[in-house]
Structure 1
Amino acid sequence: MNANAEQLTTVNIKTEDYAVQSVPQDQRRSLLNVSITSCAWIISLSTLFTGGALAAGLPFGKVIAAGFIGMLIVAVYGFFQGVMGAKYGVSTTVLARQAFGRQGAGLFGIMLAVTLGIGWFAWQVAFFGITMSEMFPGQWFAEPKVAMVWGGILMMLTAFIGYRGLAAISFIAVPLVGILSIWGIVAAVNSSGSWSALMDAVPVGDPITLFAGITIVVGNCALGAVVFPDITRFGKSPVKGGFGASSGYFLGGLFCIVAGAAMAIAANVPQFGSTPNIPAAMAKLGLGFFAFLILVFAQWTTNDNNLYSGALGLRNAVKVPKSILVVTMGIIGLIIALSGLENSFVPFLTMLGNFVPPIAGVMIADHWFVKPRLQGKSYQFGPGTTYAKWNIAALVATVGGGFVGSRLDFGIGPINAILIAFIGYSLLAFVLKKMSVSYELGVSIEERSGF
């Protein structure tokens, strides 16, 4: 290969943001960079609304406890996902090739594209437009469909650029929401008269238990931690990548929940369905233009990640440049939002989402137990790597974990699914090995291109 060809290949790989290749060490980022980027991932209107929902049913002290415990649970399994991404420098779906087989990982990538890259992207874009119109009634830029268009374009822009774009916008959004959190707490204390009065404030809605509050928190953010490798593949080391992502996600989620709850208590605004109207609370507290910035950046930094992970997932299944996938999926999501059809997809997306958390259980079990202990193998990636085409035991454990976990009437649904998949896959692999039954079918060799 001549120098010009090598240079062109390098440019193409960087444009693709190493979608199906390992991120080289000279492109890795600091622990702080990874932490801030993952922190911005969880900062969103839906997380602020989660805080408001908790405040409607729990005293403020228990809201903090629910946020802390719930985010800690997610951060723990997210850490293991993040470590794997940073160790090998590959995205979630490329990493899944080892656990699920080449075709199984492609199926997972398509699932991410449908759920995150199109479905939830469309829903968040529509939610953004509606919220902007409520926050700034009568303003042309805040008309729902107008806000959907310019908001959706901003979200597509950073996802198109890749990790560099996500990180850059995160360093703006995170301080803004940090200030918002402090502002909301101070306003809540002033409104209540004292810190102790705030902690003892009586919820305005139907009371819920602390465990129910923890379940709400985990349900809001469980999916994001599964795809931590999409961010941590840029970490300088496994521990720095895993800890950076999990700590940033934990702190961002907790701050956002506390801010949403504090503003709901301080403003004492009417409820939006079963949840206090957070945009109305922002307006009543006098946030003004600052509220506009928060709303824009909070949705921008979350929804561009939805599109980014969806595009990385689909890129693992098809030979189409990531940049084209981002634009195509973004446009489809925007059309769905503009047509008002996004809510029609929610039941389907929720059903499909039941089967994403158990994927983390299988991946963790495969990396730390099945491959090294039962098969005597270690992970490797890159041209010439041999994968199975399908791992039947992994697929069965995932479907079983999602099906059973979502139907148990105790525990936390996503966590139940992860644990069931982890245990189920480990047991299946162990029993089938003892029976000398192969559960990995076919052979796939990674091409020179890295696809």
Structure 2
Amino acid sequence: MNNKSTNFEDYSISPVPADQRKSTLNVSITSCAWIISLSTIFTGGALVAGLDFQNAVLAAIFGMLILAVIGYFQGWMGAKYGVSTTMLTRQAFGRYGANLFGVLLALTMGIGWFGWQIAFFGMTIAEMFPDQWFAEPRIAMIWGGTLMILTALIGYRGLAILSMIAVPLVAILSVWGLAEAVNHLGSWNALFTTEPTGDPITLFAGITIVVGNAVAGAIVFADVTRYGKTAKKGGFAASIGYFLGGVFCVVAGAAMALAAQVPALGSTPNIPAAMSQIGLGFFAFLILVFAQWTTNDNNLYTGSLGLRNVINVRKSVIVVLLGVLGLGIALIGIQDYFVPFLNALGTYVPPIAGVMIADHWIVKPKILQKSYQFGEGTTYAKWNIAAIISTVLAGIIGSQLHIGITAINSIIIGFVLYIVIAYILKKTNINFEVGKKSEQTNGF
């Protein structure tokens, strides 16, 4: 197969060639578009339910800084070897272990969250254009979902083009929303002195909310940074884009919600109502929908890269398959039933990053005396038992701890557990990398 980025394969199971790598700015803006979304703006609104504006800003900065550090290590590996997150897991978890991760991404991001966001998109369009035939929720889901599928189908180039448009617009919306919030309250001082809208929470709890919103994106940074020119540039570019985009959106959401003081929809901040209350017009809603588009095609893109690692089918076919399934659950109206299941699976995603980082920097070079390589002729273990056990245990332990940030706890526990288990097994001459599988020309 001709594995050029000009077809729809997008180097899904092979390293991105040097001549196809993108500029630091390109990678940074593309990663920024991963975080600018309705959910991130809503996160800002959730913060000011229990924090004043100053502490909400601090929570945004510290929370996104934590994610930027995690993302840097993940992004460094992606840019170093030019491969996706799922391809990287072939080294850390074994060839078949990587398949489990690929299926997990396909289920959670490519179908579950993609379908949930499509349903939300349909409801948003219906609010923007009441009584219009094209804005009827199910019709909006169909044409909106189709646009998202097409962008993901093109691959990184499609994401980059959309990001170049969306990021400046959302930056404008964030500044605009902040300015209108100040204008609505009368002064900057009023914004900083307005009381939270709900029960008080600690700054640490606020940081936890910020991290929880976007930790999954930081873990799959390699899906973007594999197009970076060098390891350092790729990791740094993605981290900066993610950090700035996240802080901008969280702060803007916090300012708008605090200024408007509109009632929440259950536990969800009513950001659209807040935007209307402080005087933002139709154009602001249009930008908000555009931001949702950039986020949801990223969900489908990452899910398709994950499943492409598992089955020997063209990525274009997988994108359409996952997209149609996600659209289907949205049209049927059962997307909310998947959320508890998706959240449960998400408990075991953060430890994967801790194990991957430990494997690349400590276990492989220091304990096993090996180095990473990819491409034809590469021999992977079929299973890395120590890595899989460490991930599962870290997820269980992390979810049971009632101190700290659950996602960060799980990452640290996974990191430490894997190093300890790998060291003990190596010293006792127990082979924890089971079986061998050589990569063929087509990546399988």
Superposition TM-score tier, normalisation by shorter sequence: over 0.9
Query: Is the deviation greater in 192-201 or in 426-435?
Result: 192-201
Say which of 187, 193, 203 aligns to 1:200: 193
Shift of 1:14: 4.2
Provide structure 1 residue ranges, at least 5 long, that are not aligned to the other structure: 1-7
Shift of 1:23: 0.1
Asked whether the equivalents of residues 141 and 147 of structure 1 are also in contact (C-alpha less than 8 Å), the reply is yes
Shift of 1:188: 1.5
Instruction: Please tell me the residue identity of whatever aligns with 1:377.
Output: K
Distance in structure 1 (CA, Å) of the matches to 2:210 and 2:129: 28
SS in 2 for 1:442: strand
Distance in structure 2 (CA, Å) of the matches to 1:10 and 1:213: 45
Say which of 393, 396, 421 aligns to 1:400: 393
Determine the structure 2 residue equivalent to 1:3.
Answer: none
Q: In the alignment, does 2:362 pair up with 1:369?
A: yes
Change (3 A) 1:295 1:397: same
Q: In the alignment, does 2:317 pair up with 1:324?
A: yes
Asked whether the equivalents of residues 272 and 285 of structure 2 are also in contact (C-alpha less than 8 Å), the reply is no
Shift of 1:140: 3.0
Instruction: Please tell me the residue identity of whatever aligns with 1:408.
Output: L
Distance in structure 2 (CA, Å) of the matches to 1:139 and 1:267: 28
Asked whether the equivalents of residues 386 and 443 of structure 1 are also in contact (C-alpha less than 8 Å), the reply is yes
Determine the structure 2 residue equivalent to 1:43.
Answer: 36
Instruction: Please tell me the residue identity of whatever aligns with 2:21.
Output: R
Change (3 A) 1:248 1:440: same
Determine the structure 2 residue equivalent to 1:255.
Answer: 248
Instruction: Please tell me the residue identity of whatever aligns with 1:113.
Output: A
Matches within 5 A, 1:18-417: 18-417=11-410
Query: Is the deviation greater in 125-134 or in 432-441?
Result: 125-134
Distance in structure 2 (CA, Å) of the matches to 1:157 and 1:289: 26
Matches within 5 A, 1:426-445: 426-445=419-438
Change (3 A) 1:273 1:85: same
Instruction: Please tell me the residue identity of whatever aligns with 1:123.
Output: W
Asked whether the equivalents of residues 117 and 296 of structure 2 are also in contact (C-alpha less than 8 Å), the reply is yes
Shift of 1:12: 7.6
Determine the structure 1 residue equivalent to 2:412.
Answer: 419
Determine the structure 2 residue equivalent to 1:5.
Answer: none
Asked whether the equivalents of residues 405 and 414 of structure 1 are also in contact (C-alpha less than 8 Å), the reply is yes
Instruction: Please tell me the residue identity of whatever aligns with 2:358.
Output: A
Query: Is the deviation greater in 285-294 or in 320-329?
Result: 285-294
Change (3 A) 1:12 1:162: closer
Give the fraction of aligned pairs with identical amino acids, expressed as a percent: 66
Query: Is the deviation greater in 275-284 or in 91-100?
Result: 275-284
SS in 2 for 1:441: strand
Provide structure 2 residue ranges, at least 5 long, that are not aligned to the other structure: none
Asked whether the equivalents of residues 311 and 325 of structure 1 are also in contact (C-alpha less than 8 Å), the reply is yes
Asked whether the equivalents of residues 3 and 11 of structure 2 are also in contact (C-alpha less than 8 Å), the reply is no
Shift of 1:379: 0.3
Instruction: Please tell me the residue identity of whatever aligns with 1:399.
Output: V
Shift of 1:295: 2.4
TM-score (norm 1): 0.96
Distance in structure 2 (CA, Å) of the matches to 1:348 and 1:228: 23
Distance in structure 2 (CA, Å) of the matches to 1:96 and 1:433: 20
Instruction: Please tell me the residue identity of whatever aligns with 1:168.
Output: I
Q: What is the total number of aligned residue pairs between the two structures?
A: 444
